[in-house]
Structure 1
Amino acid sequence: MANKRKKTKIVATLGPATNKKETLKAMLDEGVNVFRINFSHANYEDVKRRIKLIRELNDEFGYNAAILGDLQGPKLRVGKMQSDVIVNEGDQIIFATGKRFEGTKDRVYMTYDKFPQDAKPGEHILLDDGKLIFEVVSTNKKNEVTAKVIQGGPLKSKKGVNLPNTNISQPALTEKDIKDAIFAIEQRVDWMALSFVRHAEDLMQLEELIKEHSDHKIPIIAKIEKPEAVENIDKIVAYCDGLMVARGDLGVEIPAEEVPLIQKQLVLRAKKARIPVIIATQMMETMINSLTPTRAEVNDVANSVMDGADAVMLSGETSVGSYPVQVIRQMSNIIKSVEDSHLITVPQEPPHIRTNRYITKSICYHAANMANEINAKAISTLTNSGYTAFQISAWRPDAHILVFTSNKSILTQLSLLWGVKAFYYDKFVSTDETIEDVNAIACKKGYLEEGDMLISLAAMPIQDKGMVNTLRVTEITSCSF
């Protein structure tokens, strides 16, 4: 299994534990494909330095690690509290906005200014990942909401607030997010994730901001962590380039027992839309402080892979954990042990929407099916936009997916996609010469051997770099090009 190539990708969050170049290199060696910047806890100078290190490693060692900028979104919190504040069931407490103050068991500061206008009696307020539960009794519609304690406990400073029943009027893109997004665009990140997406309009705002400040497309991942997002998922997938099942806040906003089925539902929806999906939160949480994951965590990672996730994500395990390299090794081993199982099913209905990309979609679909039928070792494709890589990856063929592009801006983007291995290639001469050329690269990199079957996709004429319109099947007669 040590030499087996994994197809499911690993996203690792950057932080104090991943400050050193040697650590980042070791993580890449063990199987990291994407590094995540969490803008909830980001210092711009630290971010710049880490991005520089990652790009140096890509250049020095031939990696194509992608960088994902994850925007905080409208994260609600309580303010600073006095020490040892404990609230008990039946107590009443006031959540107040406006001027900041130190909270007590009777009165607590809320960072969300419009909370008194949005709150309605009977709605729930959840604190500290749902450990404390309150119910709104009344609001003065100006600066105070009175609530009673349903489930008590220690009320600590700056803990997160979830409002599962409240229609929040705050935009998904906050002032902080706009500043962070512009900074991320300047650093030329490969992907951007937006937190607490509720509607397609949230994504459209970020897309416009990217268009305004970037000279190239940065694909957007919608983080699904609100009940409204699950309800609006069909419209959301039409305006994003990927999904993230962010199970932390999602498991607070809805009953935790509903999350497993919603996870499967979202993975299937992403597959149908031919966009990548990341499973995130608490995957290997024990390994923040331990060298050994729990059996439940191993099962969780394995089941996420078997659900069909493109990528699995680590947060605290790599950002602040004691074993950032070892956790990648453990996760890679789990992925490799299960991802070729016959128990994993892939939707097989062919493309049916006759758009201007129908021919390309259909060729990619048939390439994936044919590769399985003839036991092809690889599918190779030449692409300028990355579109064919998304399409082929979504069908989950058994074959390697080898993508050749002269567009350096998508080279690292493609590292998030299941099964895709991307190479820089800029010698587009004739179809025959170019395909022979990329076959030689595939042989040299160990993806093909003599006697292997290969499916090659290309756009003819090849110099035009148009949409894929050609499928070619070849038996590799020699790997000594």
Structure 2
Amino acid sequence: MNKRVNRRTKIVATVGPASESEDMIARLIEAGVNVFRLNFSHGSIEQHATVAKRIRKQAQLAGRYVGILADLQGPKIRISSFKEGAVQLAEGDRFRLDLDVPPDSGNARGVNLDFPALIDSIEPGDTLLLDDGRIRLRVDDVEPRGADCTVAVGGKLGSRKGINRLGGGLAAPALTEKDMADIAGFPAINPDFVAVSFVSSTEDIEHAKNLLAQQSLTPAIIAKIERAEVVADTDILDGILEASTGVMVARGDLGVEVGDAELIGIQKDLISRARRKDRVVITATQMMESMINNSMPTRAEVFDVANAVLDGTDAVMLSAETAVGDYPVAVVVAMADAAMGAERHPVARTSRYRLDKQFTTAQETIALSAIYAANHYSNVRGIACLTESGTTPLLMSRLSSGLPIFALSHNSKTLQKLSLCRGVVPLYFDASAFDHDAVEARAIEFLRDDNYLSKGDSILLTKGEVMGRPGSTNILKILPVS
């Protein structure tokens, strides 16, 4: 079978100085990247648009559907600058967050804030986490123009480091003025996915959708789960899931706010919850961090990727590893190998999900019946899904299986968005070019000629009785490959 279908878990790679050239993008696609992330915390619209054109060009040359994820920066709550660039803080030192001192005058006694509204969000007894939790401050007193703190965990603190509160709850809008300006420039990029940072409510997702609609764009929305108060409230979390296409388990800021020990269970719950609601999920942050400077991952990193795969994540993400790392191609290969190793485990190939549930539509019934049948009929080598909107292959991908789901569609936007769904192989196939009675044979011929199937195999095929109408899938067949 064609090697492109061997791995079910998708790989998201962040583009940066180490990976933005045409040659490197081509090599990364060949190595196994399914979606490229454009990080809007860095670079201009013009720079990202240039990279997006390179991605589209190289994906077309490779004959693959490769998605583009535009990741909005979101609010950045930071301290301002120190006069000497950094200070050394010791446990027990007094330290003030002060709105009245100049932004570049910080010293070992205190520093200005880039985000004045922080003062309104904290109270005595709070623990503030600076520089990803490396420095901890206990809030002693809060005044209208500042907060006096005691250093609980000291160390070297540099300028412009971020601030979180243990337990979350710092008030900041998910979409900043910068984010809105970036969205206004998105027509030059036409992203397939947009990630909204620091989402705290359904309204954040709807706001992003409205801004994108003003630009005549309808990308899939990925909600980044980074706030402790969101994972602590299942009603808020479920509302965010309902409003979005999927979520990203953003383990950086979330881990700082909840603690790494709690993060393990939260990751598993988020992946499970997303799959139950038919939403895609990306697991991100430091998955192969050591490969920024080393040519091989640690065993712990391989296990981290494998555990996310066994949990059911749709995709695993690389950040600095491909953006600025020394081995961008090698890290993609290592991540692909780790994912495929996990996928060989029986847990990743079988599913009892929804066996005790009632289905609500014919489309859902066909989609989930197809996976159940494929998992229990050994001669089946895959599932061919003639699709208009992509909903049927998405539903199929929520169940564990070792078989590829071939999404056959003439709709390029649908195929681009399916590039993130676990186990789905998006392929261009225009069913309207053939007589109605010949479509099934032509679809099988297409898959066989491209080496996705071999003579003697069987394939499950799903389609709608009325072709070209979204949501009309109501036919399931088992067909021989001749």
User: TM-score, normalized by length of structure 2?
Assistant: 0.94
> Is residue 2:282 matched to residue 1:278?
yes
- Percent of pairs with identical residues: 37
Q: Residue by residue, what CA displacement relative to the aligned partner does 1:235-265 show, whole Å, maximum 9, x if unpaired? A: 2211111111111111110121111111111
Residues 296 and 466 of structure 1: CA distance in aligned 2, closer, same or farther (over 3 Å): closer
Which residue in 1 is equivalent to 2:230? Answer: 229
- The runs of at least 4 consecutive aligned structure 1 residues that moved more than 6 Å come to none
The aligned residue for residue 137 of structure 2 is 134
Name the residue aligned to 1:192.
Answer: 194
How many residues of Structure 1 are paired with residues of Structure 2 in the alignment? 473
Structure 1 counterpart of 2:305? 301
What amino acid maps onto 2:278 in structure 1? R
Cα deviations by residue, 1:428-469 (Å, 9 ceiling, x for unpaired): 244431222111111112111112111111111225455211
Alignment of 1:42-191 (within 5 A): 42-83=43-84, 84-97=86-99, 100-141=103-144, 143-165=145-167, 167-191=169-193
SS in 2 for 1:462: coil
- For residue 85 of structure 1, give the secondary structure of its aligned residue in structure 2: strand
Could you tell me which residue of structure 1 aligns to residue 41 of structure 2?
40
Q: In the alignment, which residue of structure 2 is the partner of 1:249?
A: 253
CA contact (8 A) 2:306 2:339 kept: yes
Q: Kindly provide the amino acid, as one letter, of the partner of residue 102 in structure 1.
A: S
Q: Paired residue for 1:239, among 234, 237, 243?
A: 243
Distance 2:227 2:332 in 1: 29
Q: Say whether 1:447 aligns with 2:448.
A: no
How many angstroms does 1:46 deviate by? 2.0
Listed as ranges, the gaps of 5+ residues in structure 2 are none
- Work out the CA distance in 1 between the residues paired with 2:468 and 2:282: 35
SS of residue paired to 2:132 = coil
Residue 467 of structure 2 is aligned to residue 462 of structure 1: yes
Give the residue type in structure 2 aligned to 1:242. Answer: G
After superposing the two structures, state which structure 1 stretch, 153-162 or 426-435, moved more: 426-435
Superposition pairs for residues 258-269 of structure 1, below 5 Å?
258-269=262-273
CA distance in 1, matches of 2:14, 2:393: 25
Query: Does structure 2 retain, via aligned residues, the 8 Å contact 1:66–1:415?
Result: yes
The Cα shift of 1:70 comes to 0.6
- 2:341 maps to 337
Offset from partner CA, 1:274-300 (integer Å, 9 cap, x none): 111111111111110010111111111
Looking at structure 2, the residues matched to 359 and 325 of structure 1 have their Cα atoms a distance apart, in angstroms, of 43
State the partner residue of 1:312: 316
Q: Distance in 1 between matches of 2:356 and 2:99?
A: 51
Q: Which amino acid aligns with 2:180?
A: I
Larger mean Cα displacement after TM superposition, 451-460 or 6-15: 451-460
- 1:475 matched to 2:476? The reply is no
Instruction: Report how far residue 129 of structure 1 moved.
Output: 0.6
Cα separation, partners in 2 of 1:347 and 1:130, compared to 1, 3 Å: farther
User: CA contact under 8 A between 1:430 and 1:462: conserved in structure 2?
Assistant: no
SS, match of residue 465 in structure 2: coil
Tell me the distance in 1 between the aligned counterparts of 2:407 and 2:36.
21
CA separation of 1:359 and 1:82: change in aligned 2, threshold 3 A: same
- CA distance in 2 between counterparts of 1:2 and 1:89 reads 59
Deviates more, 1:246-255 or 1:78-87: 78-87
